[in-house]
Chains A and B, each alone.
Chain A
Amino acid sequence: MNAPDPMSKYRVVGTRPVRPDGIDKVTGKAIYGPDFVAAGMIHGAILRSPHAHARIRSIDTSRAEALPGVKAVVTSADFPGQSAKIIAAGETSSSLRDIAATCLAHGKVLYVGHAAAAVAATTKAIAEAAAKLIVVDYEVLPHVIEVEDALAEGAPILHEHMITKGLDPAPDSPSNAANCLVMTRGDADAAMAGAAVIVSGHYRTVPVHQGYIEPHACVASWNADGQGQLWVSSQGHFDIRNQTASVLHIPSSDLRTYPLEIGGGFGGKTGIYLEPVAMLLSKKAGRPVRLAMSREDVFCGSGPAPGIVVDLTIGADADGTLKAIKAEFWYQVGAFCGSAVNSGMATLLGTYRIANAHLCGWDVVSNFPGTKAYRAPGAPQMAFALESCLDDLARKLDMDPLDLRLRNAVRPGDPGPHHVPHGAIGFVECLEAAKAHPHWTAPLGANQARGVAGAFWMNYGGPSTVSVALSGDGSVQVTTGSPDIGGSRASMAIMAAEVLQVPYERVRVAIADTASIGYSMVTGGSRVTFATGKAVVEAARKVEETLVTRAASLFGVAATDVEWRNGAAHCLTGESAGEHLTIGAIAAKAGQFSGPVSAEVSVNPLDYLPGFAVHICDTEVDPETGNVSIIRYTTVQDVGTAIHPDYVEGQMQGGAVQGIGWALNEAYVFDGNGRMENPGFLDYRMPVASDLPMIDTVMIEVPNPAHPYGVKGVGEAPIVPPLAAVANAVSRATGLPMRTLPLSPDRIWATIQAAK
Chain B
Amino acid sequence: MSKIAVSTTVNGDPAEFLCDAGETLLDVLRGSLGLTGSKEGCASGDCGACTVMLNSQMVCSCLVLAVEAEGKSIATVEGVAEGSVLHPVQRQFLEHGALQCGFCTPGFIVAAKALLEVNPDPDETEIRYWLAGNLCRCTGYDKIVRAVSAAAAELRQDSKAQRSAA
Contact = CB atoms under 8 A, between A and B. Distances in A.
A38 to B, nearest CB: 14
Interface stretch (A24-32, A279-287, A551-559, A585-593): A24-32
Given A125-B20, A487-B100, 11 more contacts: A21-B102, A23-B86, A28-B37, A28-B38, A34-B40, A214-B39, A263-B41, A295-B41, A486-B138, A689-B131, A689-B136
A213 B100 contact: no
A31 B39 CA distance: 10
A220 B103 CA distance: 22
Contacts, number: 188
Contacts of B137: 210-213, 264, 266, 654, 658, 686
A634 B78 CA distance: 36
Contact of A690 (B20, B44, B106, B132): B132
B125 to A, nearest CB: 8
Contact of B124 (A25, A29, A651, A694): A694
B35 interface: yes
Contact of B103 (A22, A23, A213, A688): A213
A27 B80 contact: yes
B47 A213 contact: yes
B49 interface: yes
Contacts of B18: none
Among B100, B102, B132, B138, find the residue whose CB has the most chain A CB atoms closer than 10 A: B102
B132 A688 contact: yes
B97 A694 contact: no
B129 to A, nearest CB: 5
A2 to B, nearest CB: 8
Among A213, A655, A681, A688, find the residue whose CB has the most chain B CB atoms closer than 10 A: A213
Interface in A29-60: 29-32, 34-35
Contact of A649 (B46, B103, B133, B143): B143
B132 A25 contact: no
A542 interface: no
Given A486-B100, A689-B134, A295 B139 contact: no
B36 interface: yes
B95 interface: yes
Q: Secondary structure of the A side of the interface?
A: loop
Nearest to B93: A26
A1 B97 CA distance: 10
B99 interface: yes
B94 interface: yes
B30 to A, nearest CB: 8
B142 A695 contact: yes
A263 B102 contact: yes
A649 B22 CA distance: 43
Nearest to B143: A650
Contacts of A691: 132
Contact of A487 (B43, B97, B129): B97
Interface string B14-41: 0000001010000000100001111111
Nearest to A683: B46
B101 A212 contact: yes
B97 A16 contact: yes
A653 B30 CA distance: 31
Given A25-B102, A212-B137, A653-B139, A34 B132 contact: no
B35 A28 contact: yes
Contacts of A213: 39, 41, 47, 49, 101, 103-104, 135-137
A688 B47 CA distance: 9
Nearest to B91: A26
A22 B78 CA distance: 14
A654 B99 contact: no
Contact of B44 (A30, A653, A682): A682
Contacts of B38: 28
Contacts of A655: 140
A486 B101 CA distance: 5
B152 to A, nearest CB: 15
Interface string B34-64: 0111111111101101000000000000000
B73 interface: no
Interface in B111-149: 124-125, 127-129, 131-145
A23 B128 contact: no
A214 B41 CA distance: 6
Contacts of B144: 689
Among B101, B129, B132, find the residue whose CB has the most chain A CB atoms closer than 10 A: B101
B77 interface: yes
B128 A690 contact: yes
A694 B137 CA distance: 15
Interface string A674-716: 0000001110001111111011000000000000000000000
Among B37, B93, B103, B129, find the residue whose CB has the most chain A CB atoms closer than 10 A: B103
B8 interface: no
Contacts of A657: 139-141
Among B94, B124, B133, find the residue whose CB has the most chain A CB atoms closer than 10 A: B94
Contact of A26 (B39, B43, B90, B135): B90
Given A18-B94, A653-B139, A654-B140, A28 B41 contact: no
B5 interface: no
A505 B44 CA distance: 41
Contacts of B97: 1, 16, 19, 487, 644, 646-647, 649-650
Contact of B46 (A1, A34, A651, A680): A680
A656 B140 contact: yes
B161 to A, nearest CB: 22
A363 interface: no
Nearest to A685: B46
B141 A26 contact: no
Contacts of A651: 100
B26 to A, nearest CB: 11
Contacts of B96: 1, 646
5 contacts: A27-B81, A32-B39, A680-B46, A690-B128, A692-B128
